Structure 1
């Protein structure tokens, strides 16, 4: 894999991020990484073990940089089974574990994100349904994750399955989630709570009013792409949908991040899909790929993310590295001189 080549000593970390010069902790990590045995194309198992070892050394206990403003990211793909919810909860948990304040908005009637975060979402629980349909304050429904400090979730209950129909006749039906989130961020500030650094919105695999609300609330779209042929077919339709949202409801919306999931380096198809995506979206596609992992699949059945279920597994380390890359991109954007704006929704500029 191109993104797993050994960096030049002292110039770049094993995960591809630049290491601060003169930092003794970085120097210690680099020295340990440099002492690992070298792998070659003839030793694929050793190469995989070496990659995990490097990630473990470089990411354990590391704090990620805070973005200048609240980043609101909708995780979307109209194709089901590509890892939207899995990506949402694991990136959120990884960022929170690294010292950031993260909020997950579970906008999918299935409520799988709420399950993975260990959040109560039985019928009757205050949820995103009351926020969207009844106009209830978001702070009355947001719950804190029991496993990760700094991680919050607005749960979804079965009631949300009927929200599509109820929203049709409502005033400002496309902007109700954005209004609720803006009010919540203001409420946190007014009540002395720490600023939210990241908001992730989990979407259902369809294009309805719930998904439209998710696109309108965000400034960024993160697209998980499964490394299989059919995943590419749905991508063009998703991009057309985003163009429509940009034209009519949210002109600041943009695809900022693409994450390759369920990657199996042993298959030519996965490598071809990854190459095609990187060719068409070189700036948006993260270097990190998320492998197929039994641990990632097992974690939700225990009401956990893979980050808390088995933090040393390949899947957890991959999501930690993807989260680090996501966080560092936000900081790098502030130092660029090409006019690229720092991601933030219009109403959240001053949060």
Structure 2
């Protein structure tokens, strides 16, 4: 049974697109059929899987405006088991064009209902805002994954996002739940990372994933090569961590192999400077 997950945080720079691309690719490597929906006008998830967003003839913009069918706009990437509904800057206009449209909040949901059973997971890369595009993503989703950067003011704006999720659950999508909270850009050489992890765990409790994504040069480099991290540098710490996260989403298959967060912290501390180097 397919699961649709929005990867969302109204705050930019949290690793949202990085997570969308690399978690999707890791699950695809594990044999799961994956669809990425790029719903961020920047189109970085699109270019992150090797597609030139400037050469697209149709995109998620056309899908939301009901100009094409869902199957028309899906692109099969060069990476096995990984498809994408691409995006480019045209999507910026959709916020305005959809304001007066009929059933404006459910456009993406109806589009994904056509094909969701063909995939194990659908991941929606949402824009860093709480506008109409994000609303469409959340209405279409079964759950939301919230990436939070391990830096000062990490929880800034999260309470508003949680409030929005609650309102959508009450009025538009009763099945919506928080899938989990992902800690990103961790640097265990600083005391701040440990403090932020403590704050986030206290706020979200058991919803925090065991896997923590470190700062990693290879993760930063991979998008410029149009490759997910497991195809760009499979042995890097970033690739290993996103594979850990992928397995965490498959507890029935990999649950016994997952490390507790304290073990992860010890392992990360042991690689120290290697996190930046690899």
Given the two structures, how large is their TM-score scaled by the length of structure 1? 0.70
CA distance in 1 between counterparts of 2:254 and 2:29 reads: 18
> In the alignment, does 2:195 pair up with 1:272?
yes
1:68-87 alignment runs, 5 A limit:
69-87=1-19
Match of 1:209 among 112, 118, 132: 132
Deviation at 1:99, TM superposition (A): 0.6
- Which residue number corresponds to residue 163 of structure 2? 240
Q: State the SS of the aligned residue for 1:289.
A: strand
Deviation at 1:292, TM superposition (A): 0.2
Deviation at 1:119, TM superposition (A): 2.1
Deviation at 1:120, TM superposition (A): 3.6
> In the alignment, does 2:70 pair up with 1:118?
no
Match of 1:163 among 94, 104, 108: 94
> In the alignment, does 2:31 pair up with 1:99?
yes
CA distance in 2 between counterparts of 1:83 and 1:95 reads: 17
- Which residue number corresponds to residue 21 of structure 1? none
What number of residue pairs does the alignment pair up?
Answer: 255
1:295-314 alignment runs, 5 A limit:
295-314=218-237
Alignment check: 8 A CA contact 2:116 2:122 kept: no
Deviation at 1:329, TM superposition (A): 6.2
1:334-345 alignment runs, 5 A limit:
none
Alignment check: 8 A CA contact 2:109 2:140 kept: yes
Deviation at 1:282, TM superposition (A): 2.5
1:160/1:273 Cα in 2 relative to 1: closer, same or farther (>3 Å)?
same
1:187-266 alignment runs, 5 A limit:
195-266=118-189
Deviation at 1:331, TM superposition (A): 8.8
CA distance in 2 between counterparts of 1:124 and 1:323 reads: 29
CA distance in 1 between counterparts of 2:10 and 2:252 reads: 25
Deviation at 1:122, TM superposition (A): 2.0
Alignment check: 8 A CA contact 1:123 1:159 kept: no
- How well do the aligned residues superpose, as a CA RMSD in angstroms? 1.5
Question: 5+ residue gaps in structure 1?
Answer: 1-68, 187-194, 333-351
- Which residue number corresponds to residue 56 of structure 1? none
Deviation at 1:121, TM superposition (A): 2.3
Deviation at 1:279, TM superposition (A): 2.3
Alignment check: 8 A CA contact 2:139 2:168 kept: yes
Higher Rg: 1
Alignment check: 8 A CA contact 1:137 1:184 kept: no
CA distance in 2 between counterparts of 1:129 and 1:306 reads: 27
CA distance in 1 between counterparts of 2:65 and 2:56 reads: 14
- Which residue number corresponds to residue 134 of structure 1? 66
- Which residue number corresponds to residue 207 of structure 2? 284
Given the two structures, how large is their TM-score scaled by the length of structure 2? 0.88
> In the alignment, does 2:250 pair up with 1:321?
no
CA distance in 2 between counterparts of 1:227 and 1:71 reads: 27
Q: State the SS of the aligned residue for 1:174.
A: helix
Deviation at 1:134, TM superposition (A): 2.8
- Which residue number corresponds to residue 275 of structure 2? none
CA distance in 1 between counterparts of 2:3 and 2:123 reads: 8
1:233/1:196 Cα in 2 relative to 1: closer, same or farther (>3 Å)?
same
Alignment check: 8 A CA contact 1:70 1:196 kept: yes
CA distance in 2 between counterparts of 1:93 and 1:251 reads: 29
Q: Which moved more, 1:228-237 or 1:77-86?
A: 228-237
